Chains A and B, each alone.
Chain A
Amino acid sequence: MDSADAIPEFSKSDAGGGGAGVANMSALAAGPGIQSVRDVAIIAIVAVIVIGGLELLLNLFAVPQYVMPKPSEIATALVTDFWFILPHLGHTLVELFSGFAIGALVGLVLAAVITQFPFAEKIITPYILLLVTTPMLALVPLLILRFGFGYTPRIIAVALAVGPMVMINAATGFRRVDRGKIALARSYGASTLQIFWKIRAPMALPMIFVGLMVGSIFGLLTAVGAEMVGGGFGLGNRLTSYSSMIQMPQFFAVVLILSMLGILIYILFFLLGKKFASWEA
């Protein structure tokens, strides 16, 4: 099926410098590469103008703090309340990591097993699709009812959000059968297990990373959402708490932390994908 891709003409025509064009796992990754100190300087200047301009405008029009706090107030809140917010960040991370680990593991194993049995796959796929499309947040009140206000309902919700997402992407990866490569391994006497680990798994890896990345973002979403629904800790809980007390600078400080978290997760998987799946450029 990809015999046309077998001899890619990857000469040095891949201009754009700075190692751009490696591991484009998704359209999101295909940003322009930063090329020089000048670029960095311009980006920084623009950022200063945007943030400074916002500060200036909010001052100029005397926008009340409960509508939109000034960037300086957000920064101050971030610094002064940092040690208070930090444990909540910790709680969110615990939920995210545990839920993600459980969900991703189950999703991966299920994908690997299911794709070996096409008929079973046909039967199970509709349920997985149902899980993918149902916002797991909808189940959180129910989970809280059953498991209380601790970590448990949140971790379950995160796992439920991550698992199907990882599974459906990984299954797409595992389904990519290349008869030629499998024949190659078999010609050396490879066992089914060897074919799985040495051919199928590496071929699925790029799609697995896509699944992990999308899954982790969905996981973060679900973790914060679950915290907002109920319980006394976590960044989501801070959001509801600060907004109910109209502490807008603190509220936005938490939002800022959440976006940083999202970006870090994205970068993590981008780098992992670049390291382990860059062959599929």
Chain B
Amino acid sequence: MVEHKSGEVKLRVRQATKVYPTASGDLLALDRCDLDIRTGEIVSIVGPSGSGKTTLLWSMSGLHGLSSGDVELDGQKITKPSRDIGMVFQDANLLPWRTVEANINFPFEIMGQAPDKAWIAQLMHRVGLEGFEQRMPRELSGGMQQRVALVRALSFKPSVLLMDEPFGALDAFTREEMNHLVEEIYLDTHTTIVLITHSIEEAIFLADRVIVMSARPGRIASEHVVPFARPRSMEIMATKEVFDLTNVIKQEIVGDQKSMASRPRLVAKAAS
């Protein structure tokens, strides 16, 4: 039942370390992370705030460099953004002065190419947005905006999709819908997906592997295989395996913050 993804390594992260210089000294955001993501795999990354998830993802996208270590895409070192990588950002990150259509054409404009109209039409149909091409982003709901962002990221057929807490701002139901949508699109395209999320449920539901990161400095703490065949239904979320896995991951994340509990308790004193 376990889907063994034995494909080639798509993204290889080696000893990734990132230091941010700040006014109060250097901040070690990412400490010697090693991670292999294979072709056609969905990998979720979870971890407490400050565990360097976004830093790691941005390094994979080529949006910023590493202090040491490197990231390879198909064996090529990533030094700048590549058109093989599509990104979906926190909140939809649409350009509010452009229509839906113009937002989706934006990557092509930057790359100086004609948009792939047939493919975009298919994507729009797939996410249920046909007929909304001429709308402005503010006329759409949060879920619809994020669908537009998804279409935009997939419009130029990247082989890797990097998603940075894409559905954090959505309500639980819309979020579930979006999770199904991502899986459906994945089953159609077999795009390699790396997903950062705060929701352990979302991480498990979508991923072949869940990577847990620890905070300050950001390190890869553990890795869990999610052994369910696709397409998955929400029913798997009610199985004992998922329940146990959720608890294990939760423990790891909370345990990382346990030091909090060992601090002195607050004592409210009556004024004397």
List residues of A whose CB falls within 8 A of some B CB: 3, 6-8, 10, 180-181, 183-190, 194, 198-199, 202-203, 205, 277, 279-281
Beta-carbon contact of B93 and A181 below 8 Å: yes
Most buried by B among A6, A187, A279, A281: A187
A279 to B94, CA, bound (A): 12
**Total contacts A-B at CB 8 Å:** 72
The answer to whether residues A10 and B138 also contact, given A181-B95, A189-B81, A198-B106 and a CB cut-off of 8 A, is yes
Chain B, interface residues (CB within 8 Å), range? 20 to 34
The answer to whether residues A189 and B93 also contact, given A7-B142, A10-B138, A279-B136 and a CB cut-off of 8 A, is no
Selected from A3, A6, A188, the residue in CB contact (under 8 A) with B106 is A188
Chain B, 70-92, CB within 8 A of any chain A CB = 80-83, 85, 87, 89-92
B-side contacts of A181, CB under 8 Å? 93, 95
Question: What mask results when residues 122 to 152 of chain B are scored 1 for a CB within 8 Å of chain A, else 0?
Answer: 0000000000000011110110010000000
B146–chain A nearest beta-carbon distance, Å: 9
Selected from B96, B110, B142, the residue in CB contact (under 8 A) with A188 is B110
Selected from A7, A185, A188, the residue in CB contact (under 8 A) with B83 is A188
The answer to whether residues A3 and B97 also contact, given A10-B138, A187-B61, A281-B138 and a CB cut-off of 8 A, is no
Instruction: Jot down 14 A-B pairs with beta carbons below 8 A, ordered by A.
Output: A7-B92, A7-B141, A180-B93, A184-B87, A187-B61, A187-B81, A188-B81, A188-B111, A189-B111, A190-B110, A199-B95, A202-B95, A279-B136, A281-B138
Extra inter-chain contacts (11) besides given A7-B142, A184-B87, A279-B136, CB under 8 Å = A7-B91, A7-B141, A7-B169, A180-B89, A180-B90, A180-B91, A185-B110, A188-B83, A198-B106, A202-B97, A279-B137
A-side contacts of B81, CB under 8 Å? 186-189
A188 to B105, CA, bound (A): 12
B109 within 8 A of A: yes
The answer to whether residues A6 and B92 also contact, given A184-B87, A281-B138 and a CB cut-off of 8 A, is yes
Beta-carbon contact of A10 and B139 below 8 Å: yes
Q: Which residue of B lies closest to A280 (CB)?
A: B96
Beta-carbon contact of B97 and A205 below 8 Å: yes
Beta-carbon contact of A186 and B63 below 8 Å: yes
A201 to B141, CA, bound (A): 26
A194 to B141, CA, bound (A): 29
Beta-carbon contact of A184 and B93 below 8 Å: yes
Across the A-B interface, the 9 shortest Cβ-Cβ residue pairs:
A7-B142, A188-B110, A6-B91, A279-B97, A279-B96, A188-B107, A187-B87, A190-B110, A202-B97
The answer to whether residues A187 and B85 also contact, given A205-B97, A279-B97, A281-B138 and a CB cut-off of 8 A, is yes
B42–chain A nearest beta-carbon distance, Å: 20
Most buried by A among B137, B138, B169: B138
A202 to B99, CA, bound (A): 13
A7 to B63, CA, bound (A): 25
A281 to B137, CA, bound (A): 12
Question: What mask results when residues 195 to 239 of chain B are scored 1 for a CB within 8 Å of chain A, else 0?
Answer: 000000000000000000000000000000000000000000000
A-side contacts of B111, CB under 8 Å? 188-189
A279–chain B nearest beta-carbon distance, Å: 4
A244 to B92, CA, bound (A): 65
A21 to B83, CA, bound (A): 40
A7 to B106, CA, bound (A): 20
Question: What mask results when residues 36 to 75 of chain B are scored 1 for a CB within 8 Å of chain A, else 0?
Answer: 0000000000000000000000100101000000000000
A205 to B97, CA, bound (A): 10
Selected from A3, A188, A194, A205, the residue in CB contact (under 8 A) with B90 is A3
A281 to B142, CA, bound (A): 17
A-side contacts of B106, CB under 8 Å? 184-185, 188, 198
A140 to B90, CA, bound (A): 54
A-side contacts of B169, CB under 8 Å? 3, 6-7
A186 to B111, CA, bound (A): 11
A279 to B82, CA, bound (A): 30
B-side contacts of A198, CB under 8 Å? 106, 109-110
Most buried by A among B81, B97, B139: B97
Selected from B80, B83, B89, B138, the residue in CB contact (under 8 A) with A183 is B89
Q: Which residue of A lies closest to B85 (CB)?
A: A187
A180–chain B nearest beta-carbon distance, Å: 5
A-side contacts of B89, CB under 8 Å? 180, 183-184
Most buried by B among A184, A194, A202, A281: A184
A-side contacts of B138, CB under 8 Å? 8, 10, 279, 281
A165 to B200, CA, bound (A): 52
A-side contacts of B58, CB under 8 Å? 183
A181 to B95, CA, bound (A): 7
Q: Which residue of A lies closest to B149 (CB)?
A: A184
A187 to B90, CA, bound (A): 14
A-side contacts of B136, CB under 8 Å? 279
